[in-house]
Amino acid sequence: MKITGETKVLGIFGYPVRHSLSPLMQNAALEHLGLDYIYLPFEVRPEQLETAIKGIRALGISGVNVTIPHKEKVIPFLDEVTEEASLIGSVNTIENKNGKLIGHNTDSRGYIRSLREDAGFDPKGKTILVIGAGGAAKGIIFGLFLEGASKITIANRTIEKAKKVEDTLRATGKKIEIESIPFLALKDPRILSSIDLIVNTTSMGLEGGSPDIDFSLTPEHVLVSDIVYKPPVTPFLKKAQDAGRRTLGGLGMLIYQGAISLEIWTSQKAPVEVMRNSLAPFLNPCKP
């Protein structure tokens, strides 16, 4: 890699940041495109966030991704936030436009793009069940809403959190059928019988767990997705596959959120396959 006096800097702010796959994926893409940029990890402690954001302007950094635990707290320090990011209440991408810092949320669009491009699924007019109501769920729910889903059911262990997301959607005044249900209601066949898409946004798959769903009660055409990308087939997806249902893992969302960030910063079409290949050795360490 050749760093010159003209090399532009991109990066990611997180705490911790050392497990992030973004530097690997973004540098592979930048190199492939032949762009004179470098993408670096920055471990930013929560109490240093404001100073770090000022540093973007001071140092002329072209753009950064923002990850845990800064996605919500960063908003007051920015000059502008897109309507989507403001609705979701979370920013994962900052664009430095001639000194003006603009906050975007590409997690939400990343998920939608993975749905479309990896699974050929268009959310418009669809009936969707989202399991979980945390930060990731919010982005996905608003993304599906903006894409014209006709009904969204949110199932969460803590029902109050689901209702809060529901209230924010209702407050937009736009037409959508939405309901919140407790986790236990997932056993109710009436919830499952007319669903087109199920999204598991809970962190249960990371610890080998899975929401308890009887997939034989879902329509045969249902698409079952999980936002966890490691393992690529979570216990939740495995159960769905065993019942003959189509599945979509979380890797596409990771890649496309990065691809959209890169497109915002460089105005170039992101090389999605290069980004996907750069992660392969990391995600499947046993395979060459």
Residue of 7, 51, 158, 194 that binds ligand ATR (CB under 6 A): 158
108: tokens are 């939400």
Binding segment for ligand ATR among 21-29, 38-46, 128-136, 230-238 (CB under 6 A)? 128-136
User: Binding of ligand ATR at residue 133 (CB under 6 A)?
Assistant: yes
DSSP string, 39-67: EEEEE--GGGHHHHHHHHHHHT--EEEE-
In the DSSP assignment, the letter for residue 82 is -
- 132 binding ligand ATR? (CB under 6 A): yes
Q: Of 29-37, 72-80, 104-112, 153-161, which segment contacts ligand ATR by CB under 6 A? A: 153-161
From the list 101-109, 132-140, 229-237, 247-255, the region that binds ligand ATR by CB under 6 A is 132-140
Contacts of 234 (CB under 8 A, 6+ apart): 200, 205, 210, 226, 228, 249
- Contact with ligand ATR (CB under 6 A): which of 8, 32, 73, 161? 161
Which residue, among 255, 257, 254, 269, has the nearest Cα to 35 in the 3D structure? 269
Q: Which of 67, 96, 114, 156 binds ligand ATR (CB under 6 A)?
A: 156
Note whether 91 binds ligand ATR by CB under 6 A.
no
Rg, Å, the chain Cα set = 19
230 binds ligand ATR (CB under 6 A): no
The count of residues interacting with ligand ATR (CB under 6 A) is: 16
**Burial of 275 (C-beta count, 10 Å sphere; 0-12/13-18/19+):** buried
Q: Which of 136, 152, 195, 260 binds ligand ATR (CB under 6 A)?
A: 136
